[in-house]
């Protein structure tokens, strides 16, 4: 287990809880590395994240687009309204829409 990511798996779903308050190129790389063993549905939990810099956005966007091209469904959870706006601006929400935590209950 990484100091940056805590992985929770159930069925076809993996939830990656981002444990750092800041997503930058290094933590985004840790997220991508953790996803080498992806499930059909992957959820990134941003509940601890208060800051995402441009390098983090770039690395996340590259990861998200590549994962979707490979046929995986990606979702973001617990994203602040500010980060939701940024995700929409860079069209990341197109590939990784937000999901509510209560909606995950259907997969557990």
Where does 1-108 have alpha helices with state H?
A: 25-34, 54-69, 81-89, 92-95
Percent of the chain past pLDDT 90, that is, above it, reads 44
Which residues are CB-contacts of 17 (< 8 A; sequence separation ≥ 6)? 5, 6, 7, 8, 45, 47, 48
Q: What is the pLDDT of residue 26?
A: 86
pTM for the whole thing?
A: 0.88
| pLDDT tens readout for residues 45-72 | 999 999 999 989 988 888 888 888 889 8
Q: What is the mean pLDDT of the chain?
A: 87
């Amino acid at each position: 287990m990484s100091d940056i990511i805590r992985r929770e798996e159930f069925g076809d779903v993996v939830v990656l809880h981002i444990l750092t308050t800041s997503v930058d190129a290094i933590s985004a790389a840790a997220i991508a590395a953790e996803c080498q063993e992806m499930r059909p549905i992957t959820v990134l939990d941003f509940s601890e994240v208060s800051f995402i810099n441009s390098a983090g956005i770039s690395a996340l966007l590259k990861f998200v687009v590549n994962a979707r091209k490979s046929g995986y469904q990606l979702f973001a959870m617990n994203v602040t309204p500010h980060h939701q706006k940024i995700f929409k601006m860079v069209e990341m929400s197109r590939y990784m829409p937000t999901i509510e935590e209560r909606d995950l209950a259907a997969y557990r």
